[in-house]
Amino acid sequence: AGVDALGAVPPIKESHVEMDAAWALYESWLKIQMGQAESALIYGFGKSSPGELPIVLSQQLDPYYLAPLWVDTIAFAAMQARVMLEQGLITEAEMAEVVARSRKNAANNPHAQLKGDVSVDELLAEPEYESPLRRHDCCPISDGACAMIICTVEKAKEWGKPYAVIKGIDHRIETHHIGSRDLTQSISTKQAAEAAGVAQGPVDIAELYAPFSHQEIILRRALNLSDDTKVNPSGGVLAGNVMMASGLSRIGEVAMRLINGEGKRGVAHATSGPCLQQNLVTVLEAQ
């Protein structure tokens, strides 16, 4: 149904992606690199509000041991946060600082669902939702869409449009057996960052797909971002999370800010699966 809205005649689409549209970008980028295409239209949309998204996502877990228990995404994230707190790797104040910055950054984002000035003390005063997480530590349920066109540099010059360049991209996966992973870090993000070339230059802007406040801290450490990097200037997914489109939106946010002259080099991150199981890292540069 979604392809009809694009106005394509005939309305034919090709997709092998059953996850966030950021992976559709990855597949499209690969086809362009191999010379099979010069340009691609990538889009993703999600309407999660009618259902119980955390429960639905529990069915992507191991079908023998975990899915029958109906452990939802929030419960897994709460366990992850609890482990980090007990090991002294984070504090609840640091988690609240992530949320406060997200809400403040989102003030200038017309598409943000949650925005505004709120203090760390105000956030810490809120009751726990699924201990140790509070409601604000969890991304909201959002409906929306994201679309993007990628192409060769030659095609972009032919069209006369401003653009940002994808300099590196990589996707890594960790086991779906939660008990076999160290949930206090994201090894796959670190590996993807190394392969994509994040460390080959300073990062001015980073948009991270962190559905929970403590996960932004994990990702910042995995990507080895400096204090000079502007993290989630859009507010990130804590300000609005469109399932199947938020990862692509992170790439789009970085690209648009580079095009607008807000930086020279940026990193976008997308994730899928419980507790940052799959991670895609994209490095972009201004033209």
pLDDT in 10s for each residue of the chain, 287 residues: 566 776 766 666 666 666 899 999 999 999 999 999 899 999 999 988 888 888 888 888 888 888 888 889 999 999 999 999 999 999 999 999 999 999 999 999 999 999 999 999 999 999 999 999 999 999 999 999 999 999 999 999 999 999 999 999 999 999 988 889 999 999 999 999 999 999 999 999 999 999 999 999 999 999 999 999 999 999 999 999 999 999 999 999 999 999 999 999 999 999 999 999 999 999 999 98
Phi (first) and psi of residue 263, to 5 degrees: 180, 170
Q: How far apart are CA 80 and CA 277, in angstroms?
A: 12
CATH of region 2-286, choose from 3.40.47.10, 3.40.50.2300, 3.50.50.60, 3.40.50.620:
3.40.47.10
Phi (first) and psi of residue 189, to 5 degrees: -65, -45
- Pairing between strand 39-47 and 143-151? antiparallel
| C-alpha radius of gyration, the chain, whole number | 19
Q: How far apart are CA 43 and CA 244, in angstroms?
A: 9
Q: How far apart are CA 276 and CA 78, in angstroms?
A: 13
Nearest to 241 by CA among 112, 154, 73, 153: 112
For residues 215 and 16, is the Cβ–Cβ distance under 8 A? no
Q: How much is the pTM? A: 0.93
Query: Would you state the pLDDT for residue 57?
Result: 82
Angle among Cα 220, 225, 227 to the nearest 5 degrees reads: 105
- Report the run of H or E that residue 105 belongs to, with start and end: helix 92-105
For residues 165 and 181, is the Cβ–Cβ distance under 8 A? no
